[in-house]
Structure 1
Amino acid sequence: KSDNSNLKWLVKELGSDCLTVPDKDGDTAVHLAAKHQPVDSLQFIFDKIGADLFSLKSNRGITPADVAESDRCHTDQSAKRAWIFFTQRQLEASRPPAGSSAPTAASAGAERQLDPSFTDWDFILHGKKKQLIGRGGFGKVYKAVTDRNQTVAVKVLPLRDTGQSGKLQKAVEMEKRGVEILKRLSHPNILKLLKCELKSDGLYIFTELVSGHSLFELMQRQHKPFKESEVRDFSRQICSGLNFLHCQPEGAILHRDIKSGNIMLTDEGVIKLIDFGLAKEIVGTCGLSTGIDPKGTSYFLAPELFMGEGDSIPYSAKTDVWAFGCTVYELTTMQPPDGNEPQFRIGVLRSGGRAMPRIVD
């Protein structure tokens, strides 16, 4: 397959030893991944077997690195070459002096943590174009590799000059402060933020790279809502992440944009809260819009949020919980509460005290 779902299934069922078993042609699963699958597969394999990835040889004496360098490589060739170069360089730099004991490959993989202190990075290319992995949250998301030999996601928020340079500067500073707060957090159900950089063409926000899809995208692909057991599992994980945010010792941290489009399900079945509503100020100042979410955010807003303006909008932990309730409804029906109403009417309906629809039994 062109993705690594079968690869991960094999390791889950048989253990990482299966990766090094050759077939009748002498190729291992690592050789085949180097030929057919994305660069993420090589990172996954490296986390399982460590430096052995580079020494495996087929009957013809070919290593997985040789495959990635040759015309046999059909996917992500430039990204794989870059990954192999950086990883081998990192292994050489970390090699202990003669006579000292080195950590095992398994322990080295387990201890790998994202390092937000990188100073240089490059987009990973797909062909000659930057590898786009998503659109949403008012920007595009690409793959990048850092000088710490880590593959990360970088979200680019374009900044347009609409004659409100003072407001835009204030909005950017708010966003940067928000990232500084969020990068200190670590929770399995919250996307890890690393850093942000302001460039001439936009604001670049770096996060951990995870494989998967938003719950909104999964519903659209499946053409049906989720089962009750799935909603229950997702809800438990969403609440775990929200509770962690709301119970910070320095005060509650708010997400401000909970909805299925901002909740990701990883390939491993883990929920990640993404796209914190920090960028709302930039969006309002630059007039940005993705136009890809047919339901927008208004359907997830609590009644009191329609009654304030600007800095007086009363966001709170309660408004996150209200949005979570709307999301649970959305996961069971494929649309948020009042989803059949025009978006401009939602504020009138909510602030007018209209009862919210019940979740089906």
Structure 2
Amino acid sequence: MFYLKLENEIFDNKYKIVDVLGKGGMSIVYLAKDIKLEKFWAIKQVKKSLNSSIDLLAETNILKNLDHPALPRIVDIIEKNESVYLVMDFIDGISLDKLIIESGMVDEKTVIDWAKQICDVLNYLHCQKPNPIIYRDMKPGNLMLTSRGQIKLIDFGIARKYKKNVSKDTTYIGTRGYAAPEQYGDYQSDARTDIYSLGVTLYHLITGKSPNDPPFEIKPIRKLNPSLSEGMEFIIEKCTKQDPNLRYQSIKEMLNDLENIHKLNSKYKVEVRKRYIKIFVSIIMFIFSVFLITSGIFGIKAESIKEYNNMIENGDKQGSLKNTNKAIDSFKAAINKNEEDSKAYIKAINTYLENGQYDQCVDFVETYVTSKNSSLIKDDNLKFVVGMAYFDYENYSKAYKYFDEIKGKKVDNIDALKYYKVVAKALSTLNISKDNEVVESVNNLEKYIDGSSDIHFKIGAYITLAQIYRDNPQVFDGNTDKEISILEKANTLSVDKNNIILYQQLGEAYYSKACELKLEQEKYKLYLNKALENYKIAINAGSQISDSYCKLGMIYKYLDNAGESKNSFQKEIQMFPDDYKGYMELALLEYDGQQKLSSNQRNYSDFIKYYKLTISKKYNENDNEFMNLSQKYNDLKNQGIIR
């Protein structure tokens, strides 16, 4: 097995081992960097020879057929010597058990948000056909929080498929304190087993008390912290009942209570009773006043429609001026005016997508569309744009769900739907044995886009297509070249230089291509300059993405233009003062500058200043550049050059 002393080892002629991410009784996980693609992966090593009743490749067999934003993908399987190596998505974040150690406990609002995300992925697992997947090891240590606030579920080593007509599990396994009683008894684990462990996990997060700490029991949370809500106490107590029949019987049932947690409070129940009394009185008053109201209702309705249309018109105007936030605000105001009409929802979603704001788009969809007004989703055009929101967000299973629900023919993009639906289905079941299906469906989509006469549609569709090539290097040979080719097609169609997402993505693609050609200096510099050109266009068009400024600074650095590099990083910290990366890169730049001087001329004061500013921000300790900075700082300190 690799150990930390073998750092920088080249594995399988493709991956550079950077660090050890974690060790367990059955496996070890490494942080590895794809030498060619400059992309980080997690490589999990499982020893074949371990004599265990547990299927050590269960994780592979389960994950390879799943697609959910909260689950890591397996992109490669390598058998070598006495081990099997699983190459998986590297999750850039912090595990919740470490977060609890740092913060002590987590506020209730945040815990509820995380609980909803966890419920979403557990519901996805429990709804698998023909056999639901039971996770069986829910605990803070198996939950990762990304820098974008998303929860990821890791370590499927003991997950299993639920089997009908089986009375109990063949293996008693789980993490003591978090495992449900039936995992050690004479019953088969099912969805309610995961619900128990989730309840214990929420208890640990919201109280800071581990179930394995004295007095080794789950107490009512409001006895530990009276400021917590009755609703949260009710949910955790119901999850952690010893008898599975007394718990929530499904994740959907639990999620419904989380989304309506205020209704579980006694104060709310009193208010409901009062409301019923008021409603009865109001009905009497309503019958009496109907005649009076009817006479003026038509005039009021006409005025309301006029205001609604004016709001949408203003949103369109702000969008054309690239005032994205003002455009969205206008569309939201229109929604508040008329929640039943789908036009404003469609306009808002398209505005988000055209500006590459995929996270915000999905937040909008789940806040304004799917959770609030189920009657809206009957509109097929709205279903299509909701599907595209999830498609661009790379949640292909949800995208396919909405595409598949469109049965009518009154969809503005009915022809495009046919192709996107096939691609979403192929990508949602992506695994090593089905690569050909993905390639064929994506090739057909590209031909369809090429043949369209709608330039506006083609530009947006090419950008989405390029993202598919970019994010699936294990499927498409020469994926970076394909991505660049597609984006340049869009570039030839663009009549102005205001499409921020297009030039941002072109910059990223050319930067990735340069990284692939580091050993060919002439081509390396050629692609760096192409990346530089496109990042500058994106910034001049008003890019509000910190990565644009950071990449610009790094490219200038690689082109040996330290002055412009420093200017770019200083601009980045001016615009994004809470982002650690600008300070980190300035520290590295200062270090390199001092190293070029003779030892008696070196002054590391600016290096120290920017290092301290870096660690004062919310930084990612797994960032390769940050690890490089920490190493340089510690080397200088160990040499006694700095204190």
Name the structure with the higher helix share.
Answer: 2
Name the structure with the higher strand share.
Answer: 1
Q: Which has the higher contact order (CA 8 A, sep 6+)?
A: 1
TM (norm. structure 1) is 0.49
